[in-house]
Homo-oligomer: A and B are copies of this chain.
Amino acid sequence: MVYVSRKEHFNAAHKLYNPAWSKEKNAEVFGPCANDNWHGHNFELIVTVKGLPDPDTGFVVDLKKLSVLIRREIVDRVDHKNLNLDVDFMRDKLASTENLVIEFWKILSPQLSSITKYGKLHSIKLYETPRNYVEYFGE
């Protein structure tokens, strides 16, 4: 079993805001992240696939195909977007990095079989800033 990773990036605006709360409560809990007029980040996204190398290619997964898949399914839907307003799969969800990686997993996991016989999705890691990041393993 080898673990193979591909890093992609995107940038987006968002705010942290719970619509069930008052503006004051949101400001208290989320601080400047609740700014009405949004703020934003450069996100670094790392997708890891695990499996046995295909004896014909030496690859668990062709990283060029993985890159194309991530761009088509994730990056094109979030890059230069507002995560709260523009992204269908984040509707009615808090735009935290935790929730983002869970949604990214749901999208990518069933599609990996289209590009690799041997690999399965292992983890999704998302850097919101160079000092803050999350990782999700599907459960």
Asked whether A14 is an interface residue with its Cβ less than 8 Å from the other chain, the reply is yes
B136 touching A3 by the CB < 8 A rule? yes
> Which chain B residue has the least Cβ–Cβ distance from A123?
B3
Contact with B along A96-139 (1 / 0, CB 8 A): 11110110000000000000000000000000011111111101
Query: Contacts A16-B58, A95-B58 given: A37-B82 contact, CB under 8 Å?
Result: yes
A98 touching B7 by the CB < 8 A rule? no
One complex includes copies of this chain to the number of 6
Asked whether A23 is an interface residue with its Cβ less than 8 Å from the other chain, the reply is no
Query: Contacts A11-B39, A13-B13, A35-B81 given: A59-B96 contact, CB under 8 Å?
Result: yes
Bound together, the chains give a CA A64 to CA B33 distance in angstroms of: 11
B2 touching A35 by the CB < 8 A rule? no
B14 touching A40 by the CB < 8 A rule? yes
**A: which residues have CB within 8 A of B?**
1-9, 11-14, 16, 18, 20-21, 29-33, 35, 37-42, 53, 56-60, 62-64, 79-82, 85-86, 93-99, 101-102, 129-137, 139
